[in-house]
Amino acid sequence: MLAAYIGLLLAASDPPASDVPANNDIVVIGERMKKIRVATEIDKTGAQKCIVRRSSGDPALDQAFCGAVLTCARTETKIDGMNACMSRELDAVRAQFTAPKKAPER
């Protein structure tokens, strides 16, 4: 259920591809994020876990996405709260993965 909801949220929040050049990092990350499907479950100890059902192809992005889902799942109990939380968290994930890379210092 949560996985389907997150997929719908991602589809609704992505900018139209025609408005942005195809080689733009934001578009690439957005397309990868659309692929991700996760599920949450509670293990025997009562801890929430995130399981990647379909990967983006980038393990670091999958991990960040799961972190966003778990952050929201821990604090939000209503759909409006979950929408707002996921929007903020996914914006942060996008920013993290599209931030300019620093050149190594010599």
49-86 pLDDT, tens per residue?
Answer: 999 999 999 999 999 999 999 999 999 999 999 999 99
pLDDT tens track for 13-55: 554 444 444 446 667 787 888 889 999 999 999 999 999 999 9
The helix/strand/coil state of 41 is strand
Residue 16 near residue 22 (C-beta atoms within 8 A): no
Residue 1 near residue 22 (C-beta atoms within 8 A): no
**CA atoms within 13 Å, Cβ hemisphere of 73:** 20
Q: What are phi and psi of 46, to 5 degrees?
A: 95, 5
pTM over 0.85: no
